[in-house]
Amino acid sequence: MNLTIENILLVGSLLLFISIIVGKTTYKFGVPTLLLFLGIGMLAGSEGIGGINFDNPKIAQFMGVVSLNFILFSGGLDTNWQMVKPILRQGIVLSTLGVLLTAVSLGTFVWLVTDFTIYESMLLGSIVSSTDAAAVFSILRSKNLALKTNLRPTLELESGSNDPMAYVLTIAFLTLVINQDQSIVSVIPMLLQQMILGGIAGFGFGKLSKFIINKIKLDFEGLYPVLVIALMFITFSVTDFMGGNGFLSIYICAVYLGNQDLLHKKTILKMYDGLAWLMQIVLFLTLGLLVFPTRIFPVIGIGMLISVFLIIVARPIGVFISLIFFKMKLKRRFYISWVGLRGAAPIVFATYPLLAGIEKADMIFNIVFFISVTSVLIQGTTLTLFAKWLKVASPEQAKAFDASDRSISEVIKTTMQEIKVLPGCYAVNKKIVELSFPKEGIIAMIKRNDNYITPSGSTVLEANDILLILSDNQEGIDKVNDCLKK
């Protein structure tokens, strides 16, 4: 079947519907949902029962980049800074040095066991060097896996922030494969430029985005998530245009925004959660359509050898050396090594050699696809089992705390008090969202003259307003007073 304007919506919606239904019914058996999406895409492809003819790496890459924008941004918004702060150094080291060590060790192994040149081998190692945010976020959160201490935020921070490093290494070694006369030293400035500009741009756009979201007045609440989407793509595109790493910038921007007071923040978070799932499904379906199973079979042998080395040797090397200067129990290091899931991101990165037209591009793509499938299938199905074996799972398998839970806990207050906004007070003529309101208290209602107002973040406080404050304790009430007066 050839995709046309007339049938693309029908085919796409049917594939989406089937993916959701099949994913819901089969996940009970321990099969990772993302792998099912990939399988459905392959079945619908040119060599499957669907017979959809799709062999366009450029479109697949475009879909992949757009999807990764949403996935990384959603992961950043859900990142709780208070939980991440204690393990920030470990996460940064894992997402930079850990990725580099994994790429180099795997690339060296590929160079020794194949006829790839050293640069081609390092290119393959770079493509699969990062853990996949889509796979880690979806599997950890859907399994509701409760892990001891700060293990889970460490894994989520690493997976959300290490794709930029893998992308930079991929582009660097692809450049060296194309330009054989260049030395590895020649790409170091590009590596530094990508990471430094990406980090600075991410933080800068985060502050700018907060200002725009809270200052602009839109007539409809539903437009605020749309505004955030526009800001996300602007952040990525402008950073990329300046020569920085767009993936890194949008992740940092999202982490900053996710830990700030924003207008209609709950609406934004909920919408991005749904969009992230949609993009994961679309991404895996698209990549499944792009794959020709008959081209995978010839590389199964070498693919399995490389995949086993990556899981058993290369990933642990990257983790253990990266964390050598941090105090951490051995079993925790082993578990971090095991949660080295490869997923859609490496397959997206593998389209870059295809579009560049290098000699072994097809073989690299097929090997990367095989590695991603085996990684999700082997590691993704055993996360709970290994957590129990290594005794890193919490005794109670309660649902892990996330951004959506915060809105529930914050409304359970035990102390109530009325506070009057006096003329000349700092809070007069300011939006509630601009006050950095303490999390210990909430404004349940505002009495203005003889009217009662249900407040939101965009509500502007006026002199002589009477605020009904709910708080956990008297200390929270005191913090509210301080916030209003400053």
Q: Are residues 300 and 415 in the same domain?
A: no
Q: Are strands 415-420 and 441-448 parallel, antiparallel or unpaired?
A: unpaired
- pLDDT, tens digit, for every residue of 36-88? 777 788 887 777 777 777 778 888 889 889 988 998 898 888 888 888 888 88
**Residue from 213, 216, 215 nearest 205 by CA:** 213
- If one counts the domains in the chain, the total is 2
**Contact (CB, 8 A) for 333 and 122:** no
For CA atoms 137, 139, 144, 148, give the dihedral sign.
Answer: negative
Q: Are residues 256 and 303 in the same domain?
A: yes
Domain that holds residue 157: 8-403
Is 323 a member of any domain? yes
> Tokens 């040095």 map to which residue?
97
Is 2 a member of any domain? no
**Residue from 260, 213, 262, 261 nearest 235 by CA:** 213
Is 48 a member of any domain? yes
Q: Are strands 441-448 and 451-453 parallel, antiparallel or unpaired?
A: antiparallel
DSSP code string of 281-326: HHHHHHHHHH--HHHHGGGHHHHHHHHHHIIIIIHHHHHHHHTTTS
Q: Are residues 194 and 310 in the same domain?
A: yes
For CA atoms 316, 319, 322, 327, give the dihedral sign.
Answer: negative
Backbone phi, then psi, for 351, in 5-degree steps? -80, -20
Half-sphere CA count of 22, side-chain side, radius 13 A: 18
Please give the C-alpha separations between residue 407 and each of 411, 415, 444, 485, in angstroms, as whole numbers: 7, 18, 14, 25
pTM over 0.85: no
Sequence-ordered list of residues with C-beta below 8 angstroms from that of 101, at least 6 positions apart, any chain: 317, 318, 321, 322
For 472, the token pair is 């956990």
Q: Are residues 388 and 429 in the same domain?
A: no
Residue-level pLDDT at 403 = 41
Q: Given 403, 433, 450, which residue is the final one in a domain?
A: 403
Q: Apex CA 192: angle with CA 188 and CA 194, to 5°?
A: 115
What's the CA gap between 210 and 246, in Å, rounded? 18
Q: Are residues 241 and 300 in the same domain?
A: yes
Other C-beta atoms within 10 Å of 212: how many?
A: 15
Q: Which long-range contacts (CB under 8 A, 24 or more apart) does 291-297 make?
A: 291/41, 291/42, 291/45, 291/366, 291/369, 292/45, 292/46, 292/47, 292/55, 293/42, 293/47, 293/48, 294/47, 295/362, 295/366, 296/366, 296/369, 296/370
> Tokens 């959603």 map to which residue?
74
Q: Given 403, 419, 452, which residue is the final one in a domain?
A: 403
Is 450 a member of any domain? yes
Q: Are residues 90 and 192 in the same domain?
A: yes
Residue-level pLDDT at 161 = 82
Is 3 a member of any domain? no
Is 193 a member of any domain? yes
Residue-level pLDDT at 463 = 83
Output the domain CATH number for residue 446. 3.30.70.1450
What's the CA gap between 206 and 183, in Å, rounded? 36
Residues in the chain with pLDDT < 50? Answer: 29-30, 397-412
CB-count burial class (<10 Å; 0-12, 13-18, 19+) for 320:
middle
Sequence-ordered list of residues with C-beta below 8 angstroms from that of 28, at least 6 positions apart, any chain: none
Residue count (the chain): 486
- pLDDT, tens digit, for every residue of 150-174? 788 888 788 878 888 899 999 999 9
Q: Given 377, 403, 429, which residue is the final one in a domain?
A: 403
Sequence-ordered list of residues with C-beta below 8 angstroms from that of 241, at least 6 positions apart, any chain: none
Is 76 a member of any domain? yes
Q: Are residues 80 and 159 in the same domain?
A: yes
Please give the C-alpha separations between residue 360 and each of 121, 122, 194, 313, in angstroms, as whole numbers: 10, 13, 26, 25
Q: Are residues 79 and 134 in the same domain?
A: yes
**Contact (CB, 8 A) for 131 and 178:** no
Give 182-221 as a 3 state SS string: CCHHHHHHHHHHHHHHHHHHHHHHHHHHHHHHHHCCCCCC
Query: What are 45's strand-pairing partners?
Result: 52
Q: Are residues 250 and 303 in the same domain?
A: yes
Is 1 a member of any domain? no
Q: Are residues 111 and 209 in the same domain?
A: yes
**Contact (CB, 8 A) for 271 and 341:** no
Output the domain CATH number for residue 390. 1.20.1530.20
Q: Are residues 265 and 172 in the same domain?
A: yes
Q: Are residues 441 and 305 in the same domain?
A: no
